[in-house]
Amino acid sequence: MKESSTGGVTRREILKTLGAAAVGGAVGAQALAAQPGRGRQANEFLIRGGHVVSMDPAIGELPTGNVHIRDGAIVAVGPAVNAPGATVIDATNTIVMPGFIETHWHMWSSLWRGMAHDASDYFRLQSLQNSYSVGDHYVAVRYAALEAINSGVTTCHNWAHGVRDFADLEAEMRALADVGIRARMGHTGNFVSGPVLPGDLQRALDWIAKNGQGRMSLSMVLDGAGESFPRQVRAARQLGLKTITDHGGFLAFPDLLGPEFLMTHGTGLTPAQIELIAKRDIKVGLCPTSDPMIGAGLPPIHALLTGGVPLKNISFTLDVTAQAPADPFACLRTIVNAGRIQQSGSTDLRAIAQARPDWKFKYRDAIELGTLSGANVLGIADQTGSLTPGKRADVIVVRKDDINMLPAAQSDVTMQLVQHGQPANVDTVFIDGQLRKQAGKLVGVDVRKVVAEAAAAQASLRERAKIR
């Protein structure tokens, strides 16, 4: 399906490409705005009685606290909050915290789950770009984003390097808007027809202004930009895009570098490159599940911190969920464990234990990296990343009385979150003040149908690409 004569692709047209079955499983604003048996969703909530990990230094941690949400924003956080008339969510035996923020994710490849077993498979499957339909882009991004929300991720950065034209791009943007996740949309620097022009970027910005519901913004992904790289950087800056990135090849253009740039992966960074990253205020997105999985190394958290890169500029990424789950807990524990391996520089268990190291990267740092630092990396820390009155209400509630957790009064909840937490513990998710998950279930989503449509899209893709 190509662009319509009016210059855009409607949601109806996308759903038409999916077949009649897709309509019943669609995730749209109306479906997500309703709670079963409750009519339309309330606009005021009081999350009451949880252990609040605010990530706001002025508020800190509250062993028993309340979070008041109204009209999409956080109104108040404290041990005693009065909110008559608000819908109350009992948060006893839970941790209440900001939603996780990931900063680099090739969401279009989520349909390759079960197909990409290592790096060789993954890069071979890039050729599937030619076989995608517009509907495939919608289904893939919807499937990925819903898994993210289910896991407690409230903000994602979609690297749309697989799109061929504006129709594909619009399908991915519409999926993000329909699902309701907060998103940075990574506009490819190269369409099949040639380099993306400033007018292409403006067209995407116009679409976001009209349809993004205040939750979506744009970045520039410049992989393969070649000689047009400097020109596209200038175009991105003229339009005020807060993220410019290309997996780190931009380090070859030191005169262009600035705080908008995002470096990803980084397992092979040299001390000189880390020094440049720190000096130019470049942001970093670590890939803690995909890099070890393909054998490329552990996230270099210790080298970054000791090399002068501030924690506020380091984030985690989901990268490729064809190969690893959208699991922020696994991401953070891998970064913590990598930091300890790198700091100790030893394999002598007893010597490490006897030394009682003062670990440079601590559990609370990991939670900060997964929330407030991620917001800073994307340039949206004024909107999200902490439970701060006035910020948008991107809040998750994590159960600590499940079998893998323990609600002991004296427990270190940041340690539990990182080393024991799982997506299954995420009970409730608010994004922009809207309930997206409640009582452990995605709100208004037929999960079986969404999964079935993703599986059907993969089967169809295999058939068209002649992959057995």
pLDDT of residue 407: 87
Q: How far apart are CA 464 and CA 456, in angstroms?
A: 12
**Superfamily per CATH, domain 39-99+391-442:** Urease, subunit C, domain 1 (2.30.40.10)
Q: How far apart are CA 362 and CA 339, in angstroms?
A: 9
Model pTM?
0.93
pLDDT of residue 227: 86
Positions in the chain whose pLDDT score sits under 50: 1-7, 19-39
pLDDT of residue 229: 92
Span 235-267, pLDDT tens digits:
999 999 999 999 999 999 999 999 999 999 999
Q: Which fold has domain 100-377?
A: TIM Barrel (3.20.20)
**Domains 39-99+391-442 and 100-377 fall in the same CATH topology:** no
- What is the biggest distance separating any 2 CA atoms in the chain, rounded to whole angstroms? 71
Q: Of the candidates 158, 65, 54, which has an alpha carbon nearest to the alpha carbon of residue 384? A: 54
CB 304 within 8 A of CB 266: yes
**Distances from the Cα of 179 to the Cαs of 116, 170, 450, 457, 467, in angstroms?**
25, 14, 12, 18, 30
Q: List the chain domain ranges.
A: 39-99+391-442, 100-377
pLDDT of residue 14: 64
